[in-house]
Structure formats: structure tokens, C-alpha cells
Structure 1
Amino acid sequence: MQPTATVLVYSDNARTREQVRLAAGKRPAADVPPVEFLECATLPAVLSALDAGGIDVCVLDGETAPAGGMGVCRQIKDEIFGCPPVLLLIGRPQDAWLATWSRAEAAVTHPVDPVEFAGALAGLLRARPAVDA
């Protein structure tokens, strides 16, 4: 059985979390493992999940309040040893510089475009270190 990749999805908006799940599907590309999702609506839930380990990629919504995904990204990059790569959802293309400031490895805009999102997620999954079975 092929191992799955765990994708943490942080957004205070249930519809955004659903869009992420639907855009990625069960497998965002043929050459990456199937994905399972861990949904978080609050910063404490994100920090707890990352402390527990086992997260392969984080998808953070930059429009979430009160703790936006860009600030959360920068915080976890500073505080979590071996922080997983981050795919940031940004409100507009002009916010790409903020995604760079936050140290996200990739960014896509709202609303979630399934092709663009799946491609970005697959790229981060491909880049992660191989785990020995």
C-alpha cells in the first residue's frame, strides 16, 4: 500500500477549506502520493498539529482572521523545527511579495483554481525529502 501525504489546511472559512480539498482531489498528480487532509480553523489548532508531526505540506489561507496565513507562515517558519513547505492562498496577485516575506514556498490566488492549485501542491510534494519505508 502506498503511503499518503498529510496536508494541513488552515482557513477560518469552511468553503475555502472545501475548495482546497476539491482542487487537490485524492491525488494532485500521478507521480505524488495520495493526500489526506487535516483541517484547522484556528492558529492553536495549526500549532498543535505541527507539534504532533506528520504534516507533509501546509496550505494557509492568507485571508483568515484574526491570524492570517501570511503571519502564521512566518511564525511557523521561525518556531517549528523542520517546518513543512507552505502553499499560501493569497487574495490578489499583487500580494505575492507578502508571500515571499512570509517565507512560503509557493502561492496561488483566491478563488482556488483547481489546475494551478493541484500543480503547486504536487510541486511541493515532489520536493519533500524521501522517507525510507
Structure 2
Amino acid sequence: MQSTARVLVYSDNANTREQVRLATGRRPATDVPRVEFVECATQAAVLKELDSGGIDVCVLDGEAVPSGGMGVCRQIKDEVFHAPPVLLLMGRPQDAWLATWSRADAAVTLPVEPVEFADALAGLLRRRLSVDA
């Protein structure tokens, strides 16, 4: 198992990014590596980080402005070779169809519920790390 997983967190809201960090802790589950966060507040920063490589999972805020995480997710899936899995944060459960449209790998609702979020993130990390192994 690799020692650290890099998780990109995109939101224009610092409180949302903090919710993600707090819900994850050092690691979202005992069978996945510790998490190192890469925080981005703009779409341009997300694309720059992904171009640099080394991101294991993206957590995107569907409620971010001006570029929502759903559109950013779809762009990543269309444009980034071997795009990392994406966990989408949605404002309401009724937006699940938009998460499907964006091709997100998993979705949870805001505000972040720690157990649900950690389970979803751990699942994506397991999948990503088993593919890379």
C-alpha cells in the first residue's frame, strides 16, 4: 500500500473544504493510506493540479461558483487522460441525476456527513489504488 494518497478538494467555499478535511481525518478507513489534501478554489487551479499529475481522487463541490463541480467533473472526464475518480458533493439528493450526467464516480449530499463521506472516499481510494497497483 502506498504511504500517502493525494486528494484534490475543489470548492470556492473554505468551510466546505474544511468539512471535507474534518470528515476524512488522517485517513478515511484503516485499509487505505493517509490522505494529503490539495485544495483548490478555482477551476483553473483544479486543471493545473491535474495536469501536474499525482492526484488519486478528486472531491468536487457541485455548488461551487462560478464553475460548479458537476461541470468541472464532466470536463475532467472528457479531457484528462486516466482521470482520477471523482466524489461529487451535491446540494440536494434530487441532484443525483446531474451527478450521473457529470460522470461522477460517487456522490454525497452537503453538508458533509462524516461517516457517509469517509465511506465514499475510502471506496474510491481502494478502487484507484487497486487499478494503479
Same-fold status (TM-score > 0.5):
yes
Give the deviation of 1:103 after TM superposition.
0.2
Match of 2:28 in 1: 28
Total equivalences in the alignment: 132
What's the TM-score once normalised by structure 1's chain length?
A: 0.96
Distance 1:129 1:13, change over 3 A: same
Query: Measured at CA, do residues 2 and 53 of structure 1 come closer, stay the same or move farther in structure 2, by a change above 3 Å?
Result: closer
| Matched AA of 2:15 | R
Is 1:40 paired with 2:77? no
Alignment of 1:46-57 (within 5 A): 46-57=46-57
CA distance in 2, matches of 1:94, 1:41: 25
- Percent sequence identity over matched residues? 78
**Structure 2 counterpart SS, 1:20:** helix
1:52-91 counterparts in 2 under 5 A?
Answer: 52-91=52-91
Alignment of 1:106-121 (within 5 A): 106-121=106-121
The answer for unaligned runs of 5 or more in structure 1 is: none
Shift of 1:9: 0.1
1-10 vs 112-121, which moves further:
1-10
Q: Distance in 1 between matches of 2:29 and 2:126?
A: 10
Q: How large is the Cα RMSD of the aligned pairs?
A: 1.2
Q: How far apart, CA to CA, are the structure 2 residues paired with 1:117 and 1:2?
A: 21
Report the Cα distance in structure 1 between the residues aligned to 2:51 and 2:41, rounded to whole angstroms.
Answer: 16
Aligned AA (1:99): A
Q: Which runs of 4+ in 1 moved over 3 A?
A: 129-132
